[in-house]
Amino acid sequence: MEEEEAQGFLRRLAEEFPAALEDGGPLPVGPLSRRVSLEELRGESLELGLRLLAARGAPAGLAALLCRTVLTRLLQSDLSPFHCPPEAEANQEEDAVLLQSEAVQRLFLNQLIDVALNWKQNLPELPPSPSRYLRCSVHAIKNTRRKMEDKHLALAEFNQLFGLQDGVQRAYYAVFDGHGGVDAATFAATHLHVTLSQQETLQSDTGTAFKNAFRHTDDMFRGKAKREGLRSGSTGLAVLIQGQQLTVSWLGDSQAVLVRKGEVVTLMDPHKPEREDEKQRIEDLGGCITFMGCWRVNGTYAVSRAIGDFDQKPYVSGDADCSTLQLLGDEDFVLLACDGFFDAVGPAEVPRLVLDALRPTPTDPEGGGDAPEGAVGPEVARRLVAHAKAAGSSDNITVMLVFLRPPEQLLTQQAAAAPRDSTSQDAPQQ
């Protein structure tokens, strides 16, 4: 069935792109940047390829394998014709190599078309489907804000995208809440998972791998911010499910909540300036916490850790925290959301709200949980977002719900019992 679906998609893609894209013509999907460093090329190319393929309904496993294959070919190509002249960037770091993004991504897309046409004739063996991690519901809205500055990524095909073949299943989910612009959130959503995949300690010490990945992503964004005059920042929240282990890593005040047997399991403590240890850290550095409608670092940012915000480093720290716990098999779901959700909804409310969202309603008699096997539509997350908005949230709202067992099973639990906020006996490893 997967091969038939893949072949059908490749036929449709060949009909749309029967030949290479012509020089000078518009690209079917726009690159994120005008100029890109060699280090940034990997993440930006994968993002561009996955975006193009997802918009055309590509099977996720095929899209991951195709993008990885084409990226490998691109990185082996002679990219010198795409180098920007050094004088093109007044703020460019010495010896930095920048590429003309549209030109190099045209090469990437033409190589993608070429590989897809070849696979249409001779389809390679597809990687096994990570079915356990396909049950995800996500929804995001701008709400009453002038701009949408949230970004998110659900990547059940983490291993397939990066060619990891150690026998350990992995899935990655992340939410980024930008401020002062969307650039930092976009950058983190594009590069954090790529950097994480390159960490040698990914399996043996996932917490250290995450912390290094966050720190390196922040350093990478510093280079882009310097050469492009960017001033934005972003919280970061990422979950990696690796075998029977769940690791959450975060900067700032977005939050992840795990629910087991209808009970909330505490995973993390969000970074806020008024948190006592954060306040002490900032004051020890010579900074201060002031109240201006909310608690702020040096009277500016309302988060004490973030990617970007380089005008307030090190007071606004780029060092992520991390916690890990073992999955016992009786977990219901993990919910990731930005502060636009949690400013209006308490973690203790999450189990009841999710159960309510799964139940049928008069306007939706099939219910939010009625979806094909292995998939959950956006309706469940949409109902949670709507609840937060009705409860008074005016901020951007992003909610991502990852079911760790079939959502229909949750409806057979003691849904009528009021959930109690509890802390797991399996204390997360800090």
Overall average pLDDT of the 175-183 stretch: 96
SS3 state of residue 263: strand
Q: Grade residue 58 by pLDDT with cuts at 50, 70 and 90.
A: very high
Whether 45 has a pLDDT exceeding 60, the answer reads: yes
**CATH code at 2-121:** 1.10.1740
Nearest to 257 by CA among 206, 332, 178: 332
Amino acid at 399: V
pLDDT per residue as tens digits for the range 228-255? 999 999 999 999 999 999 999 999 999 9
Tokens 């934005």 sit on residue: 232
Q: Grade residue 24 by pLDDT with cuts at 50, 70 and 90.
A: confident
Q: How far apart are CA 313 and CA 184, in angstroms?
A: 15
pLDDT given at position 92: 53
Whether 277 has a pLDDT exceeding 80, the answer reads: yes
Q: What are the φ/ψ torsions at residue 110 (nearest 5 degrees)? A: -65, -35
pLDDT per residue as tens digits for the range 219-229? 999 999 999 99
Q: Grade residue 363 by pLDDT with cuts at 50, 70 and 90.
A: low
Alpha-carbon torsion, ordered 49, 50, 56, 60, to 10 deg: 140
Q: How far apart are CA 137 and CA 401, in angstroms?
A: 5
> In the structure encoding, which two tokens stand for residue 384, read together?
């949670």
Whether 284 has a pLDDT exceeding 60, the answer reads: yes
Answer for the pair 139, 385: CB distance below 8 angstroms, yes or no: yes
Residues facing residue 336 across a β-bridge: 256, 400
Answer for the pair 402, 246: CB distance below 8 angstroms, yes or no: no
- β-pair type (236-242, 245-251): antiparallel
Whether 429 has a pLDDT exceeding 60, the answer reads: no
Answer for the pair 80, 21: CB distance below 8 angstroms, yes or no: no
Q: Grade residue 134 by pLDDT with cuts at 50, 70 and 90.
A: low
Answer for the pair 273, 303: CB distance below 8 angstroms, yes or no: yes
CA angle 42, 47, 48 (to 5 degrees): 100
Distance set, CA 328 to CA 137, 322, 333, 397, 430 (Å)? 22, 19, 12, 30, 19
Q: What is the DSSP string of 168-228?
A: --EEEEEEEEEESSSHHHHHHHHHHHHHHHT-TTTTT-HHHHHHHHHHHHHHHHHHHHHHH
Whether 425 has a pLDDT exceeding 50, the answer reads: no
SS3 state of residue 281: helix
On the question of a common fold for 2-121 and 131-271+307-410, the answer reads no
Nearest to 278 by CA among 324, 317, 323: 317
pLDDT given at position 416: 44
Nearest to 140 by CA among 111, 176, 181: 176
pLDDT per residue as tens digits for the range 302-348? 999 999 999 999 999 999 999 999 999 999 999 999 999 999 999 99
> In the structure encoding, which two tokens stand for residue 139, read together?
């929804």
Q: Domain 131-271+307-410, CATH 3.60.40.10 — does that match?
A: yes
Lowest mean pLDDT among 75-84, 107-116, 374-383: 374-383
Lowest mean pLDDT among 54-68, 284-298, 405-419: 405-419
Question: What percent of the chain has pLDDT above 70?
Answer: 89
pLDDT given at position 418: 47
pLDDT per residue as tens digits for the range 370-422? 444 344 678 999 999 999 999 999 999 999 999 998 888 888 764 444 445 44
Q: Is the peptide bond before 314 cis (omega within 30 degrees of 0)?
A: yes
SS3 state of residue 65: helix
Q: Grade residue 2 by pLDDT with cuts at 50, 70 and 90.
A: confident
What are the extents of the domains in the chain?
2-121, 131-271+307-410
pTM tops 0.75: yes
Q: How far apart are CA 130 and CA 64, in angstroms?
A: 12
Overall average pLDDT of the 134-150 stretch: 93
Q: Which residue has the higher pLDDT, 364 or 166?
A: 166
Lowest mean pLDDT among 207-216, 282-291, 294-303, 373-382: 373-382
SS3 state of residue 60: helix
pLDDT given at position 129: 73
Overall average pLDDT of the 276-301 stretch: 94
SS3 state of residue 337: strand
pLDDT given at position 3: 86
* Mean of all residue pLDDT scores within the chain: 90
